[in-house]
A = this chain, B = another copy of it.
Amino acid sequence: MAVVYAVGVGPGDPELLTRKAERILRSVDVICAPTGAAEAGSYALSIVEPFLDRSRQEVLVQLFPMVKDQKGLDPFWEEAADQVAERIAQGKDVAFITIGDPFLYSTYLYIHRIFLAKYPEIRIEIVPGISSILAASAVSGVPLGLAAEKIAILPAAYEDAELKRTLEEFDTVILMKVSRVFDRVYALLKELGRERQGVFVRRVGSEEEEVHFDLEALVGQKLDYLSMLIVKKGAL
């Protein structure tokens, strides 16, 4: 029976794909790539383009419009799942590509839930990818965790008190999509005397990658949506 592969394509650099991801992308019949806006194209697709043969492979760019609440996307995900299921029924292998890792804050997880609920008979294989967290740690030279160190990963929604407690209890705290709350987070770090214990990484693995250790210089700036902050206990 045909297989759906959920393929993590890493943070942006095509060299950070795994050998397995490359093999699967070269061999499948259909590649599905998500985009938030039709005119923008698919970032995931641009990463894997060198491995594709469009004369032999079908490339489906699937539109999931930018909306505030992901639930508004349910009909789009459902249609995308239907398109995949149709090709699986024809005996075609499908790769659904996703930035980073498919099981760590990826948009693939929305379609995954629909596969499980609506098409439980479809065989799915998850192909892990280098997460932006690992890539940001590597380019900044700031290790995520050694020995008995505890790590917390927080999406950008949290209260100050909660963040403060997490900073106290964990050796490493990773704040995803930090741009919208950066000034508030910086003020808290300063209050704790820890404003020099963080590194800000934007668009890791892409041409626009930037690494900032001077957090104060970022206060009041309009920051990139695709950015994260890694805060450590002790010296960086």
Interface residues of A (CB under 8 A from B): 8, 10, 13-20, 22-23, 70, 101-105, 109-110, 112, 124, 126-131, 134-135, 137-139, 141-155, 157-158, 162, 169-170
Contacts and interface: CB of A to CB of B under 8 A. Distances in A.
13 contacts: A16-B20, A17-B19, A18-B19, A104-B143, A104-B145, A105-B147, A112-B143, A127-B138, A128-B135, A148-B157, A149-B155, A150-B158, A151-B153
A143 B19 contact: no
A19 B20 contact: no
Query: Which of A17, A20, A110, A162 has most chain B Cβ within 10 Å?
Result: A20
Given A105-B146, A145-B155, A150-B155, 17 more contacts: A14-B19, A15-B19, A15-B23, A16-B19, A18-B130, A103-B142, A103-B143, A104-B143, A105-B147, A109-B143, A109-B146, A126-B141, A127-B138, A145-B153, A148-B157, A152-B170, A162-B169
This chain's copy number in the assembly: 2
A176 to B, nearest CB: 9
Nearest to A205: B128
A159 B210 CA distance: 39
Contact of A144 (B20, B103, B151, B170): B103
Contacts of A22: 19
Contacts of A138: 102-103, 126-128
A148 B155 CA distance: 5
